[in-house]
Chains A and B, each alone.
Chain A
Amino acid sequence: MRSWIKNRNILIGLIIISSLIIIAAFAPQVAPHDPTEVNSMVRLQPPSKEYPFGTDHMGRCILSRIVYGARISLLVGVAVISGSLFIGIVLGTISGYFGGLADDVIMRLVDGFLAIPSMFLALALAGTLGPGMVNLMIALIAVEWTSYARVVRGSILSVKEQDFVEATRGLGASDLYILVRHILPNIISPVIVIATLGIGYAILAAAGLSFLGFGVQPPTPEWGSMLDDGRLFMRKAPYIMVFPGLAIMITVLAFNFLGDGLRDEMDPRFRKEIPH
């Protein structure tokens, strides 16, 4: 565990992500203003001491909205990936380890989902289900779970044929034991990597859908819908878009750093030093 902290990617990722979590958790204390407070006296103000990131077209404090928006983005990202991971690992494991008819059915289902362009599917679902945060998450899980199912299935197929799995079965171990003790630990690195990267993608996609008006509804502060708010004033007041854009970028980047670093550390073969 201590050596993980020494990895620079993990360190940077963790520092940014934990700061984001702290900011999100203590949003009322961190934010200088009420994020939904409309003040027509201070519309479209550039960054100042009072409003460090400026104000939007309704005179709301952009910094405060970003701080509160972190709550939504992190929640959506983590919830979408947890949901996708759960479905993907369960179905991918059944498909890859047991094979047969279950494999055929699950994989054809995945193919069906993949045949529809992902943004279109998410839009169609979000549109059909109606706006709202929960519906947004359902739409994104529907898009995301297939890649986990496929990665899990593929990794299990390659690991389960290896001699050490057969040798462990030869010791009298049960399928469940083999799956939990040998197969899942050996496939978890690629899954962790794509899951961490996936959080970034989910945050990005959620912002995109909110930008288009699906998902989180105003006046709730959300990074994607803030971009939409700033669209009309891009020339006059670019800071309305720049700061939420930066927030999205930094967050996605942090998850990418963490994902990369974790992959390096979790697979013993990637470790640089060999203990003697």
Chain B
Amino acid sequence: MLEVINLDKCFSSGGMMKKKYIKVVDRISFQIGRGETFGLVGESGCGKTTAGKSTLRLIEPTSGKIVFDGIDVTKLKTKEMRKLRPRMQMIFQDPDASLDPRMKTERSIAEPLRLRGGLSKREIEERVMELIETVGLNPEHAHRYPYQMSGGQNQRVVLARALASNPDFIVADEPTSGLDVSVQAQILKLMNELKRDLNLTTMFITHDLEVVKHMSDRMAVMYRGKILEMGETENIFNCARHPYAQLLIEPQPSEDLGVQDAESENRNGDRPGCVFYPRCPFAEKNCMEKEPEMIKMNRDHQVLCHLV
């Protein structure tokens, strides 16, 4: 369904004279099968959101190839891309910011239908009410503005809006992290139901391991722009091979993993070797000098480490 090959995203910073390049996503590759949910986990600042947005070309990837349903997305011109966009939707972290504050629920949900065209006013109205019901809202919510509703209700509107364009593929970027715990569970349940009923392919970005365990079929662990380990969720939770993945899943009390976050480290240095080297408890000399290659453990389990 979706194949991403060597996706790279650099941001430049600094003035006109002295430009600094920061590699946020570093040659990542992954595949997502039809109807599958692919979880992308990592601490904040590791580039997972950028990876998600680049996959949809909401931000232009620096290099790499993205093949969606047989179409090379990276080669599409702006106009062709616009035609393809309804088939791939993104759900953002902050539901309140994802909705135009001046649009009532019904208008927000109707927008994708209007943009696509070909539907009469009545058909649009009917479809909107249908979607409102699908995501578990009441008809009366149709006439409310985003500021009159809770975060959970707004996230349901965002979901309905994304579903209105009949997507095949959804990137959900921390869709529950802005919500109360009780509401989180409801939204996750709803997303699971929708995924099953509509056979959606999903890329689920989160820092919450419980969520990824619950939601995804396959997963990848990201660190400083690189995918360190990738495979079936169950496999990774049962026998993670990469030291970083192991630390994430079973944090050691002695480990100061939480103190040092990825953003605080210098990321633009062209230091050779493994990205995790400075924090790796098992690091060897080789790790500092040579960059590791992806190693296939079995059919669908890959690890980026010298030591496996």
Binding site for B on A (CB under 8 A): 162-164, 166-174, 177, 182, 185-186, 268-269, 274-275
Contact = CB atoms under 8 A, between A and B. Distances in A.
A170 B85 CA distance: 6
Contact of A172 (B85, B101, B102): B85
Given A182-B100, A268-B145, A166 B58 contact: yes
A171 B165 contact: yes
A170 B56 contact: yes
A164 B100 contact: yes
Contacts of B99: 164
A186 B147 CA distance: 14
A170 B148 contact: no
Top 10 closest pairs, chain A to chain B, by CB? A172-B85, A163-B92, A163-B98, A172-B82, A163-B97, A164-B100, A171-B112, A170-B90, A172-B86, A167-B98
Nearest to B59: A166
Contacts of A274: 148
A76 B97 CA distance: 41
A163 B94 contact: yes
A42 to B, nearest CB: 58
Given A172-B83, A172-B85, A172-B86, A164 B56 contact: no
Contacts of A166: 53, 58, 90, 92
Nearest to B94: A163
Given A163-B94, A174-B82, A275-B143, 13 more contacts: A163-B93, A164-B98, A164-B99, A166-B58, A167-B98, A167-B158, A171-B85, A171-B86, A172-B84, A173-B82, A177-B115, A186-B101, A268-B102
A146 to B, nearest CB: 24
21 contacts: A162-B97, A163-B93, A164-B99, A164-B100, A166-B92, A167-B92, A167-B98, A170-B58, A171-B89, A171-B111, A171-B112, A171-B115, A172-B82, A172-B85, A172-B116, A172-B165, A185-B100, A186-B102, A268-B147, A269-B101, A269-B147
A274 B149 CA distance: 11
Contacts of B92: 163, 166-167
Interface string B61-93: 000000000000000000000111110111011
A182 B101 CA distance: 9
A182 to B, nearest CB: 5
B124 to A, nearest CB: 14
B48 interface: no
A149 B101 CA distance: 23
B161 interface: yes
A173 B143 CA distance: 24
B47 to A, nearest CB: 17
A82 to B, nearest CB: 24
Nearest to B116: A172
Residue among A162, A171, A174, A269 facing the most chain B CB atoms (10 A cut-off): A171
A188 to B, nearest CB: 10
A268 B56 CA distance: 32
Interface in B90-145: 90, 92-94, 97-102, 111-112, 115-116, 143, 145
A171 B92 CA distance: 13
Contacts of A167: 90, 92, 98, 158, 161
Contacts of B111: 168, 171
A163 B143 CA distance: 22
Residue among A170, A172, A185 facing the most chain B CB atoms (10 A cut-off): A170
A99 to B, nearest CB: 14
A170 B58 CA distance: 7
Interface in B261-297: none
B157 to A, nearest CB: 11
A94 B92 CA distance: 27
Interface string B154-171: 000010010001000000
Contacts of B115: 171-173, 177
